[in-house]
Homo-oligomer: A and B are copies of this chain.
Amino acid sequence: MKTKRERTIYLEDTPREEALEQCFRMVNFHDTTEIVTTEKSVGRITAEPIYAHSSNPHFHASAMDGIAVRSRDTEEAHETNPLRLTEHDDFVYVDTGNLIPHGFDAVIMIEDVNEVKTGVLEIIAPALPWQRIRPIGEDITSGEMLLAQGHKIRPIDAGALLASTVKNVKVKRKPKVHIYPSGSELVPPNQPLQPGKLIEFNGTIFSELVKEWGGEPDLKPIVKDDPEKIREALETGVAEADVVIINAGSSAGSKDYTAHIIQELGEVITHGIATRPGKPVIIGKINETIVIGVPGYPVSAYFVMDWFVKPIIHRFLNIPLPQKDTLTVHAGRRIVSSMGSEDFIRVHIGYVDGKYIANPLTRSASVTMSLVKSDGVITIPAGQLGIEQGEKVEAELMKPRSEIQASILFSGSHDLSIDVLSSEMKKTDLLSKVTASHTGSMAGLLAIKRQETHVAGIHLLDPETNQYNLSYIKKFLLGMDLVLLPFLKRQQGMIVPRGNPLGLKVITDIAHTQAHYVNRQKGAGTRILFDHLLKQNGILPQEINGYEREMFTHLSVAAEVKMDEKAVGMGIYSAAKAMELDFVPIEEESYDLLMTKDFFMGTQGQLLLDTLKSEEFKRNVEQLGGYKVDETVTPLYV
């Protein structure tokens, strides 16, 4: 039996940087080193300056295949006065790398001598002193400093170390970071899915990040939400590791034990920082080990790792944090923020008309894909209420600038074929990429108007003419030079559970049967179609059970339907097929691509056109089911 427990912890609002400084002040970053062989030293950090053990070359070496001579003896040699040299007395043969015997001070290339007879040669030009000789220490002089301390060893550095017979290197020991996922609802990634059980995947992200940053991760088994188990984990962890991460349970709720236990075993330095997401973080220490309580939601967790674990690892290694690559972007729309917290907004960035336009992705901290898809992150400082549309701000990049610059911004209605388009274009141009925001047809149309996107995917039914798209363009985008590419005819219909348990046949059945309807957001073409159908059939929205519940993509609608025997949603056939659901066709609609003429005439526009026309693309799209790609894709200039 569960009851309400007292909240005993109060979450602070410590500024992020201050929390880190507190940690740096209160923890003793012991300086530990280890010896590694030079062959295994690449990527490691030197713990002290490294000096050459020997010179390279360590003797005067011939730089060529040829003969070693005394330059003084050769001064008279000339084309008109060839000079004869006798082996052993006047010269010795040397190969590249051979030692120059004592007394000799120049090498003549084998190509520049003439053999008169065995052991006797002729030369026709004098040798300059030290010509074609690599003097001792030419590359490296014994005792010279090769690498400073705090240097990350690169392949070429390892080469120089070997060249000067430095076989072992004293490097910073990688800080040990033990990672404990916690939560009774979690199961390891390789177990079958069960309702009520969630896959633990943060631990893998953490491990890989720690590796990337130069630490040595150790991902431990999942710990149950049980104070005793958590205490046990922490005690084991701090005995061995430099940093212990406990994931989830870091907040101040009734089941968030971590902060209590850290306080009992050691000291909580900070609990709660003034950020969104990422607020419920714990920074503590037990003995000399740093303990970080990282929030459970993947986005919060990712940021907390970046803000704290990354600098802590760098501090252990005693190296500066690498600078992040940033880009000046213009906000594609207004982004609101609350006072008092730093806000971290994941954004899509597109290069439109010579400007980088950033549009926010979802701000939900539970959406891993918002990090996967983001091109960059914009930070809104705690003292600022938000960013106005068009305002210039700096974005930290999550993807290379070249990739962002080359990517085609797609906005508008969600369709599964857009992913196929992206893949196919990449086959022609490696750098090409389609960055899609599923905002709905109307939003896509308006993004074209505001020059925030390159391409909009739209399927907007005009109930008066029963035509798609054209009347909307004329109404909303008057005066712009645009191109509409006829793209797909696709099947819209009712996505229903397998076997269609409610036996739905026509739209009116949704109301009659009191089916659980799964709706789409306002401005989505599918929503406009559904509202039109309701009106046409004299049904009021109030008669539709679930009308107010809105989803943003066809696949989300299908996912909802899959969960509920009484559910139904409007959507495209391919989504029903992808989710192995049944489908009741209602209407064939036109899904077209809208873009400016300038974009269409450019390299990217033409690559897009070529891809749409290719047989392979058509075949791949039609395999999704319910599609017919336009035969000619003849551009319509509007």
Query: Does A97 lie within 8 Å of B183, measured CB to CB?
Result: yes
A339-376 contacts to B, CB under 8 A, are: 364, 366-369, 371-372
Q: Which residue of B lies closest to A1 (CB)?
A: B118
Work out how many copies of this chain go into the complex.
Answer: 2
Query: Does B159 lie within 8 Å of A201, measured CB to CB?
Result: yes
Q: Which residue of B lies closest to A155 (CB)?
A: B208
A63 interfacial contact with B, CB 8 Å: yes
Most central of A130, A201, A209 by chain B CB within 10 Å:
A201
A382 interfacial contact with B, CB 8 Å: no
A113 interfacial contact with B, CB 8 Å: yes
A27 interfacial contact with B, CB 8 Å: no
Given A148-B433, A189-B167, A254 and B143 contact (CB-CB distance below 8 Å): no
Partner of A205 from B59, B138, B158, B560 at Cβ < 8 Å: B158
A14 interfacial contact with B, CB 8 Å: no
A327 interfacial contact with B, CB 8 Å: no
Query: Does A189 lie within 8 Å of B201, measured CB to CB?
Result: no
Query: Does A139 lie within 8 Å of B369, measured CB to CB?
Result: yes
CB distance from A157 to the nearest CB of B (A): 6
CB distance from A426 to the nearest CB of B (A): 6
Bound state CA distance, A531 and B212, in angstroms?
56
Query: Does A136 lie within 8 Å of B555, measured CB to CB?
Result: no
Query: Does B150 lie within 8 Å of A430, measured CB to CB?
Result: yes
Query: What chain B residues lie within 8 Å of A555 (beta carbons)?
Result: 137, 141-144
Main secondary structure, interface of A, reads: loop
A563 interfacial contact with B, CB 8 Å: yes
A181-228 contacts to B, CB under 8 A, are: 183-186, 189-190, 193, 195-199, 201-202, 204-209, 211-212, 225
Which listed segment binds B: A49-57, A236-244, A587-595? A49-57
A538 interfacial contact with B, CB 8 Å: no
Query: Does A59 lie within 8 Å of B140, measured CB to CB?
Result: no
Q: Which residue of B lies closest to A114 (CB)?
A: B4
Partner of A366 from B3, B63, B199 at Cβ < 8 Å: B63
What would 8 more interface pairs be, CB under 8 Å, given A97-B183, A102-B564, A159-B368?
A49-B422, A96-B183, A135-B556, A136-B559, A137-B559, A137-B560, A147-B372, A165-B193
6 nearest A-B pairs in the assembled complex, by CB-CB distance: A97-B185, A155-B208, A143-B578, A162-B201, A137-B559, A145-B419
